[in-house]
Amino acid sequence: MNKISTLPSINEITLLGKACREIQGFEELYRRFERRMQVQKRSESTKKNYALHLAQISLHFGCLPTVLEVDQIEDYLQGLILKGTPSDSYFKHIVYGLRYLFRLEGLNDKRIELPKIKHDKKLPMVLSREEVKALVKHADLLKHKLLVGLLYGCGLRCGEVRAIRLRDIDLGRGMLLVRKTKGNYDRYVPLGSMLVRGIQQHIESTGATDYLFTGSDFDSRYSQRGVQWVIKTLAKKAGISKDMTTHTLRHTYATHLLEDGLDIVSIKELLGHAHIETTMMYLHIAKTGRKAPFCPLDKLYNQV
């Protein structure tokens, strides 16, 4: 069997490498798994998360997940729940990774009864306009100001802002082509004059020729961890106590657009949502309507 060049860590001391060395048949199973995910154009992060969880399960039982009995898998999942799973996302990747593997190996879905994932119904945290300004103000580097500006001003996901290439930026029209990362289509979002000026200055000062933001990642892009560090650091400097992430700026973008009068269908297209139901949650956050919501306590004391 020919070695796949995208598996540089197979001989390293990692969870995946350990499973390949210690579990009979895991390396061959992983190669089939990786090949299918590449053909289906699944993201690198999804492939990595699924593979690591499959390696962990294999090492836990000392065999491939495909030979486990139903009750063994259920006991494993129940054990994670009882011990306190690190996050809903962590548990989701375990379940989805198993489901993907079973389909790949042609196993009957009814043979493996995996629990359904309950979708999170919590509303996302959003920033005020003053808090967004504070993030920009406390960014000393133009690169960091642009990161905040693009995440908030264009509603980009972390992976999308890292993937911006110069060829996708139309400074003349003030538009950015966002290549598909989730969903099934590309989309255009307006940049606005401030971002156009900032991008021009950034390109001139850095001499960028391919990616707008470069770093030490495997393909020369700015790393995901790097982007997240910038946002966390700026939030701390700005004195923002909210538990925010890069995605908080995307939620804030959608909420502020809605509050400024943009219709929900247009916001759906700008965000790249596949279903309008996903976008509808912002109706529960934004201060919209014939009269803006207010606190009755203020009205009681004539403050509104």
Residue 117 included in any domain = no
Does 258 share its domain with 162?
yes
Cβ neighbours, 10 Å, residue 217: 15
Q: Which of 182, 197, 287, 299 is catalytic?
A: 182
* 110 labelled catalytic: no
Q: Which of 18, 36, 232, 273 is catalytic?
A: 273
Sheet hosting strand 169-170, strand order edge to edge:
169-170, 175-178, 187-190
Residue 104 vs residues 34, 66, 256: alpha-carbon distances, Å: 11, 10, 43
pLDDT of res. 177: 95
* 273 labelled catalytic: yes
Does 25 share its domain with 101?
yes
* 173 labelled catalytic: no
Q: Provide the number of structural domains found in the chain.
A: 2
> Among the listed ranges 5-9, 115-119, 260-264, 266-270, which one has the minimum average pLDDT value?
5-9
Q: For the chain, where are the E strands, in sequence order?
A: 169-170, 175-178, 187-190
Residue 215 included in any domain = yes
Residue 207 included in any domain = yes
Q: Which of 53, 93, 138, 157 is catalytic?
A: 157
Range of the domain at 164: 129-284
* 165 labelled catalytic: no
Residue 235 vs residues 77, 243, 253: alpha-carbon distances, Å: 36, 9, 16
pTM: 0.64
Does 165 share its domain with 40?
no
* 247 labelled catalytic: yes
Does 98 share its domain with 174?
no
* 182 labelled catalytic: yes
What confidence tier does 212 reach under pLDDT thresholds 50, 70, 90?
very high
Q: Which of 53, 138, 162, 250 is catalytic?
A: 250
Does 92 share its domain with 137?
no
pLDDT in tens, 87-103: 667 777 888 888 888 88
* CATH code for the domain in which residue 210 is found: 1.10.443.10
pLDDT of res. 223: 84
Q: Which of 30, 50, 100, 282 is catalytic?
A: 282
pLDDT of res. 12: 40
- With vertex at residue 181, the alpha carbon angle to CA 179 and CA 184, rounded to the nearest 5 degrees, is 85
